[in-house]
Structure formats: structure tokens, C-alpha cells
């Protein structure tokens, strides 16, 4: 049985991926800061903040007791604080960068020893070029950094498949934190998860816009 590790499994795309993988028969390790209700979806649930290195290390040790190796690894965690740069608190800027980029780094660093040699690593990114808008400075910068980090990782871990998936608008709680309307025709989290799993079944890697 193939094993998947999902960081940010508590909501949005991460939860939809967890549900879809579990329904497809995968052995899923779901990790999230908020784990309410996850035990009804995933066979293994671990509470961990991806920005807290101690919690990440503990989560990896716990995961190693559940499986010998991970075949599919996903970083779907993230956050946003919408504010113009002149008005944004330093802590809010840092929290946005931490959730979208630093957490990805910490989970990559500590997950790698548990990953299969040919594991597929997926990062949920964003079309940050379209987010060069007032109030999105921290988020756009963090997602651009995620693209760059993944490109470097692909050169460092050449046997692994590295993909950054950048969905268009998805109906998730993200839209409650920004002064924008959800566009008509936006995908549901479940539809996006299905598209990501279809991508996984192919041999596509690199940056992929859905």
C-alpha cells in the first residue's frame, strides 16, 4: 500500500487531498495544527505546526513508527495577512512567510530521510505573478520563494519528483481573509484535489498551473 504524508491536512486543499487519497486506498498520514475531525478521514493523524521545528521533528519520529517510507509528500499549509506594506505589522509579515515558505523548508528538511528514493513531493503554490497587488506583498513574496526553493530542491534531490502546483481560484477559507470576491467558476477544494491526483498519476514535474 502506498503511503502519503500531507502537511496542512486540516482544511482547504490539504483536507480534500487527504479525503481523496484515503478513499482511494492510500495509507495517509495527515498533519495539521488543527486536527478536529481529521481522525474520521485519515487513518493516521498527527498534530503539528509546520513552523515549529520541534513539533516537525516529533511528527517525523511519530510517522517513522507508522511507515517505512513515504511515496507521496504534500505541503499544503499556508496563511495570509492582507495589508499594505506600509501598514503591515512585522509579525504578520513574518507569519505569512513562515506559513508558506519557512514551514515548507522545515518539513522538507526533516521529512527527507523518511521519503522513498523516487518519492513525489508536491508543494501547493500560487500564481504569485498575478498577486502583485496592494496588500499581497508578504504572500506573493512567500509563494515566489516557494517556487525558487522547489527548483533548488529538484536539483539537490534528483531522484525525486518535485512539483509546485499553482491552482487558479479555489473555494477555500483563503477568501475570507482577503477583500476580494471569489471568482465565478472557481473550483472546489475537492475538484482541485482530483486534478492534483491526476497530475500525480502522470510524470509531470516542475511548476504546473491548474
Per residue in 21-49, pLDDT tens?
999 999 999 999 999 889 999 999 999 99
Q: How many CB atoms lie within 10 A of CB 64?
A: 13
Say what percent of the chain tops pLDDT 90: 87
In whole angstroms, what separates CA 126 from the centre of its chain? 11
CA distance 109 to 7: 13
Model pTM greater than 0.85? yes
CATH code, 46: 3.40.50.720
- Distance set, CA 92 to CA 10, 14, 87, 174 (Å): 21, 23, 10, 16
Number of domains in the chain: 1
Q: At which residue does the C-alpha cell 486536527 appear?
A: 35
- Digit-coded pLDDT (tens) for 142-153: 999 999 999 999
Q: For every residue of 181-192, which 3-state class applies, written as one string? A: CCCCCCEEHHHH
pLDDT tens by residue, the chain, 210 residues: 899 999 999 989 999 999 999 999 999 999 999 998 899 999 999 999 999 999 999 999 999 999 999 999 999 999 999 999 999 999 999 999 999 999 999 999 999 999 999 999 999 999 999 889 999 999 999 999 999 999 999 999 999 999 999 998 898 888 888 888 888 888 999 999 999 999 999 999 999 999
Host domain of residue 113: 3-209
Amino acid at each position: 500500500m502506498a503511503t502519503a504524508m500531507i502537511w496542512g491536512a486540516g482544511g482547504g486543499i490539504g483536507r480534500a487531498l487527504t479525503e481523496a487519497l484515503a478513499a482511494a486506498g492510500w495509507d495517509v498520514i495527515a498533519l495539521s495544527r488543527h486536527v478536529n475531525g481529521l481522525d474520521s478521514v485519515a487513518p493516521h493523524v498527527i498534530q503539528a505546526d509546520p513552523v515549529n521545528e520541534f513539533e516537525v521533528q516529533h511528527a517525523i519520529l511519530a510517522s517513522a513508527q507508522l511507515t517505512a517510507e513515504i511515496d507521496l509528500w504534500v505541503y499544503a499549509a499556508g496563511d495570509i495577512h492582507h495589508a499594505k506594506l506600509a501598514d503591515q505589522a512585522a509579525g504578520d509579515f513574518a507569519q505569512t512567510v513562515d506559513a508558506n515558505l519557512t514551514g515548507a523548508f522545515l518539513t522538507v528538511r526533516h521529512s527527507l530521510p523518511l521519503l522513498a528514493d523516487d518519492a513525489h513531493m508536491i508543494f501547493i503554490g500560487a500564481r504569485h505573478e498575478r498577486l502583485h497587488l496592494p496588500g499581497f506583498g508578504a504572500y506573493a513574496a512567500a509563494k515566489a520563494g516557494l517556487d525558487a526553493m522547489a527548483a533548488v530542491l529538484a536539483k539537490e534531490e534528483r531522484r525525486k519528483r518535485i512539483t509546485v502546483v499553482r491552482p487558479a481560484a479555489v473555494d477555500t477559507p483563503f477568501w475570507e481573509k482577503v477583500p476580494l470576491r471569489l471568482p465565478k467558476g472557481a473550483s472546489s477544494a475537492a475538484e482541485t484535489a482530483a486534478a492534483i491526483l491526476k497530475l500525480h498519476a502522470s510524470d509531470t514535474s516542475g511548476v504546473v498551473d491548474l
